[in-house]
Amino acid sequence: MNLNDIHSPADIKGMSVENLKELSAAMRQALLTKLSATGGHVGPNLGMIEMAVALHYVFDSPVDKIVFDVSHQCYAHKMLTGRMKAFTDPAHYGEVSGFTNPAESAHDFFTIGHTSTGVSLAGGLAKARDMRGDHENIIAVVGDGSLSGGEAFEGLDYAATLGSNFIIIVNDNDMSIAPNEGGLYENLRLLRESDGNAEPNFFKAVGLDYRYVAYGNDVATLVDVFSSVKNIDHPVVLHICTQKGKGYAPAETEREHFHYTGPFDLPTGNPRSMDEREDYTDITADELLKMMAADPTVAAITAGTPGAIGFTPERRKAAGKQFIDVGIAEQEAVALASGMAKGGTKPCFCVVSSFLQRAYDQLSQDVSINNSPISLPIFYGSIYGMNDVTHLGWFDIALVSNIPGFVYLAPTCKEEYIAMLRWSIKQNKYPVAVRVPGGKVVSSRREFPDDYSELNRYEVTQRGKDVAIIAAGSFYGIGEQTAAALKEDGIEATLINPRYLSGLDEPLLTELEADHRVVVTLEDGVLDGGFGEKIARFYGAKPMEVKCYGIKKEFADRYNAAELAAAMRLRPDLIKADILKQLCKL
């Protein structure tokens, strides 16, 4: 079978079930070859090949509409919908994103990258179809791991009231990114063990029709099941069991590691390269383990992404009950932490910047209005973080620092990060977020204070005149280099590490007015709603000239960080040129 002959779902419609099996096998081989070279979401996609084949065999995409929740399990779907070469030809590997993408194909309906949204989005398509008076099938594919997110529940609850065609496929591989956590998963286990017959049944309990499919990697079974629900006149859940990592022994065994991995050696599954450099996830987890050992009320919390914050299975074991995984449920993580802080313990919710967006109201209401002293290390809040459009870490400064009462700290190096992290946990006065620096670990070998409770005191690391550079967090280095470059032209700039993204050091800023004419701000995030604008407003009615550097308010997809920085003039040579020009103008 030549995969490159398949240009659209039409090309598989005439196949026999035996052909479909061969097709699945060939796709699996191609997928493994590509993923071993590029990395990606290995486990979820290997488990979904037969499902994608059967879906496109039975349904008529894109008239029938398939929505993949989180969509990191859509590779086989992409292979069947005009994008085969991106999986079979190394020269084309880079041409598709790792998520569904309407810009790539009419078979993709949404750009998705956060979990638990698919049922709601597809429910909207179903409702629209009914209002338009049309009759196509609407299909949502959602993984068991995504069901812990509140939005998925809201979506199921509403779906039950639709009263029209809506096929919700629960792809149950008995695994989230890490093992599932939550009472619901006990019910899924019970359903798997009873061939779907047990009571209680979660899906029936939210008002949905329900069918159980034990062999979700058997294409013949799937074709039968999908055919039986095609054009169904009401919402139905198909609870389909698949195997994460199906058909590749290392991925079947090491399911958490192969959820998402870099390039690997195909015969053994070993990583192609081991990055031995320390990173901020290891630094965080090691520091938290030390603090847990010293104080039994310290707890680390994750919302389903332990690996992204350094908590490997070994470290989780070491932490014992002081490590809490609430499942993919950021709202719960934040509110639980607030309750724990009020209950006299020291919760530290470690979270990825992009995913923290799912808990804005909890940060404001459950935490900040209640002044709950939680610790909140925020990872990948940086242009050097994840670069898919759905995972940008650019918005957390505006998100967190504008909530009254929240203290948002921006450490500039490893040593300052550890000092701030430790203080955020030890103190009990404020909710404190710490922006884990982006990019490679920077060691300054400087010593830092162990107390940050006197808020909004910026650190002047170099006192000069005329120009002050306020360089926050990961961009402190750019500030340092800019100051050094200015020195070559005889300009002794003042260099400031603001430390606090959530407030102004008004006495210092006022003091600068005496012998400075230009203030430059640097921040590793979007300018709109960010740190620099607060400085600009402070000096608004004064003669000080303020230039803010950061990222323009826009979405970018799979960008190159260096190119993005240059486009935003976030480079010491460019900033120096701007400063010189500004000084001449004055």
> Hey, which residues between 18 and 47 contact a second copy (CB under 8 A)?
none
- Please name every residue paired with 349 in a beta bridge, in sequence order, or none if there are none: 301
Span from 247-255, 324-332, 475-483, 506-514 in contact with a second copy (CB under 8 A): 324-332
Q: Answer yes or no whether residue 148 interacts with a second copy by CB under 8 A.
A: yes
Q: Please count the other Cβ atoms lying within 10 Å of the Cβ belonging to residue 525.
A: 32
Q: Answer yes or no whether residue 468 interacts with a second copy by CB under 8 A.
A: no
**Residues 536 and 546 sit within 8 Å (Cβ to Cβ):** yes
How many positions of this chain bind a second copy (CB under 8 A)? 118
The only residue of 9, 47, 98, 149 in contact with a second copy, by rule CB under 8 A: 149
The only residue of 39, 179, 339, 449 in contact with a second copy, by rule CB under 8 A: 339
Nearer to a second copy, 362 or 497 (CB): 362
Q: Answer yes or no whether residue 481 interacts with a second copy by CB under 8 A.
A: no
Strand pairing category for 298-302 and 346-349: parallel
Nearer to a second copy, 50 or 325 (CB): 325
Q: Answer yes or no whether residue 137 interacts with a second copy by CB under 8 A.
A: no
From CA 503, how far away is CA 329, in angstroms rounded? 29
Q: Answer yes or no whether residue 311 interacts with a second copy by CB under 8 A.
A: no
**Residues 59 and 131 sit within 8 Å (Cβ to Cβ):** no
CB of 27 to a second copy, least distance (A): 28
**Residues 121 and 97 sit within 8 Å (Cβ to Cβ):** no
Q: Answer yes or no whether residue 514 interacts with a second copy by CB under 8 A.
A: no
Site string for a second copy, 166-185 (x = CB under 8 A): ---------------xxxx-
From CA 199, how far away is CA 212, in angstroms rounded? 13
Contacting a second copy within 360-399 (CB under 8 A): 360-362, 364-366, 368-370, 389-390, 395, 398-399
* 526-529: Cβ within 8 A, 24+ apart: 526/394, 526/395, 526/397, 526/398, 526/550, 526/551, 526/552, 526/553, 527/551, 527/552, 527/553, 528/398, 528/553, 529/397, 529/398, 529/402
| CA end-to-end distance (rounded Å), the chain | 71
From CA 39, how far away is CA 258, in angstroms rounded? 9
Nearer to a second copy, 126 or 410 (CB): 126
From CA 334, how far away is CA 302, in angstroms rounded? 10
Contacting a second copy within 79-108 (CB under 8 A): 102
CB of 295 to a second copy, least distance (A): 10
Measured over the CA atoms of residue 19, residue 25, residue 27 and residue 33, the dihedral's sign is negative
Q: Quick one: the chain helix, strand, coil %, rounded to 5?
A: 45, 15, 40
Q: Answer yes or no whether residue 577 interacts with a second copy by CB under 8 A.
A: no
Site string for a second copy, 419-458 (x = CB under 8 A): ----------------------------------------
Q: Answer yes or no whether residue 541 interacts with a second copy by CB under 8 A.
A: yes
Q: Answer yes or no whether residue 347 interacts with a second copy by CB under 8 A.
A: yes
Q: Answer yes or no whether residue 59 interacts with a second copy by CB under 8 A.
A: no
Residue at 402: amino acid letter: N
Q: Answer yes or no whether residue 113 interacts with a second copy by CB under 8 A.
A: yes
**Tokens of residue 381, six digits:** 């809040």
Span from 72-80, 148-156, 218-226, 480-488 in contact with a second copy (CB under 8 A): 148-156
Nearer to a second copy, 327 or 438 (CB): 327
CB of 549 to a second copy, least distance (A): 11
CB of 91 to a second copy, least distance (A): 29
CB of 554 to a second copy, least distance (A): 5
From CA 6, how far away is CA 259, in angstroms rounded? 27
